[in-house]
């Protein structure tokens, strides 16, 4: 738990948010400013800042986050049409919340430019 971290506060229940998925190691909730009809954030409960902060023991967690995104895409009904998974890391990426998270974005045709 990092006191000044908005995602830690959401996970701790200090800020209102509806979890659409939760287990012992991660939660998922809808982005407050969705860029597409489906815009879900998958967030580990552990305060890991960004990709360079990942340690070898996070390998399973990282894999399970991708698999959970796949399951959530299925549940949202967007799996067949396709979707995008995004993990911003560091200032050049525009990472705004320094608690690692994966965006699951879909439900419309996405711009094919990544950068």
Q: Is 58 a catalytic residue?
A: no
Binding flag, residue 70, ligand 5GP (CB under 6 A): no
- Provide the minimum distance between the beta carbon of 97 and ligand 5GP in the complex, in angstroms, as a whole number: 4
For residue 29, what are the contacts with CB-CB under 8 A and spacing of at least 6? 10, 17, 18, 19, 20, 40, 41, 43
Binding flag, residue 96, ligand 5GP (CB under 6 A): yes
Which tokens hold the place of 32?
């407050």
Q: Which stretch binds ligand 5GP (CB under 6 A): 28-36, 55-63, 77-85, 106-114?
A: 28-36
Which tokens hold the place of 72?
């959530």
Binding flag, residue 110, ligand 5GP (CB under 6 A): no
- Provide the minimum distance between the beta carbon of 71 and ligand 5GP in the complex, in angstroms, as a whole number: 20
Binding flag, residue 32, ligand 5GP (CB under 6 A): yes
Binding flag, residue 7, Zn ion (CB under 5 A): yes
Sheet holding 38-44, edge to edge: 19-22, 26-30, 38-44, 102-106, 83-86
* Cβ neighbours, 10 Å, residue 78: 19
């Amino acid at each position: 738990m990092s006191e000044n971290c908005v995602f830690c506060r959401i996970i701790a229940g200090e800020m209102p948010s509806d979890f659409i998925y939760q287990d012992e190691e991660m939660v998922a909730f809808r982005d407050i400013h969705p860029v597409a009809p489906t815009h879900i954030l998958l967030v580990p409960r552990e305060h890991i800042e960004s990709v360079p902060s990942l340690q070898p023991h996070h390998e399973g967690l990282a894999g399970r986050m991708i698999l959970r995104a796949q399951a959530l895409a299925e549940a949202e009904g967007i799996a067949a049409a396709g979707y995008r998974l995004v993990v911003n890391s560091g200032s050049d990426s525009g990472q705004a919340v320094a608690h690692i998270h994966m965006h699951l974005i879909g439900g419309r045709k996405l711009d094919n430019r990544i950068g």
